[in-house]
Amino acid sequence: RKVAVLISGRGSNLGALIAAAMKPDYPAQIVAVISDKADAAGLERAKGFDIPARAVARKDYDSREAHEAAVLEAIEETGAEIVCLAGYMRILSEDFVRRWKGRMINIHPSLLPSFPGLDTHHRALAAGCRVHGASVHFVTEVMDDGPIIAQAAVPVLNKDTAEALAERVLKAEHKLYPAALALLARGDVRMSGDGMSSASGAG
Ligand code: GRF
């Protein structure tokens, strides 16, 4: 399956997806990388692997709607069948989400439904969590809220800092995202009509 990855920054999850997709038996290929920021480091990372990568910068458009339409067009030009959000820091409109429903996934650095939104590592520490982690989920109209495809838990250690915890979670993300994308690309998981994710054959 052809996959477009949307980023805004560093692109380390993008790097993990690219590395996984280079393996011969991986069921997806990264055909395009699109960033809403011209200076996103992830763009260079992708170009280093000869993957078409371009910015569709928000500042080049008058409105949020016009920008989003350009992003949508850029994705569709690539022939992508699946969209992966990997640190894409923009809220998508309902129309965009509807267009890609069941075929667009996101990685979020917490064990959802705990800690949607920003600053998850600080918040997990402040809440006294003893486990934290990351989730890959289908994207729906509500931010960080769609059906969960896969999760990875990491321990919170004594005297952890948000930075140390973030680093531990990020390592887990780099295994989790390729594994979750493979499930979707192989058709082993799907988003069913009632908004639940389920393994095929399981209901
Ligand atoms: C990751 O922590 C991801 O979970 C979140 O944004 C961060 C992106 O990091 N959505 P990177 O750009 O993949 O390095």
Kindly state whether residue 201 falls inside one of the protein's structural domains.
no
Ligand 1 contact, 15 CB (< 6 A): no
Kindly state whether residue 169 falls inside one of the protein's structural domains.
yes
Residue 137 annotated to the active site: no
CA 10 / ligand 1 centre spacing (Å) = 8
Predicted local confidence at residue 197, as pLDDT = 60
Q: Find how far residue 81's CA is from the centre of its chain.
A: 15
Kindly state whether residue 200 falls inside one of the protein's structural domains.
no
Kindly state whether residue 179 falls inside one of the protein's structural domains.
yes
Q: How many domains does the chain have?
A: 1
Ligand 1 contact, 121 CB (< 6 A): no
Residue 99 assigned as binding residue: no
Q: What is the pLDDT of residues 92-145, one digit of tens each?
A: 999 999 999 999 999 999 999 999 999 999 999 999 999 999 999 999 999 999
3-state secondary structure (DSSP) of residue 135: strand
Catalytic hit among 67, 108, 121, 174: 108
Q: Of 57, 67, 51, 54, whose CA–CA distance to 15 is shortest?
A: 51
- CB-based contact 136:150 (threshold 8 Å): yes
User: Could you tell me the residue range of the domain that residue 178 belongs to?
Assistant: 2-190
Could you read off the pLDDT tens digit of each residue along the chain, which spans 203 residues?
999 999 999 999 999 999 999 999 999 999 999 999 999 999 999 999 999 999 999 999 999 999 999 999 999 999 999 999 999 999 999 999 999 999 999 999 999 999 999 999 999 999 999 999 999 999 999 999 999 999 999 999 999 999 999 999 999 999 999 999 999 999 999 998 666 665 553 33
Helix (H) or strand (E) holding 122, with range, is: helix 120-126
Kindly state whether residue 56 falls inside one of the protein's structural domains.
yes
Give the CATH number of the domain where residue 64 resides: 3.40.50.170
| Complex ipTM value | 0.98
Kindly state whether residue 18 falls inside one of the protein's structural domains.
yes
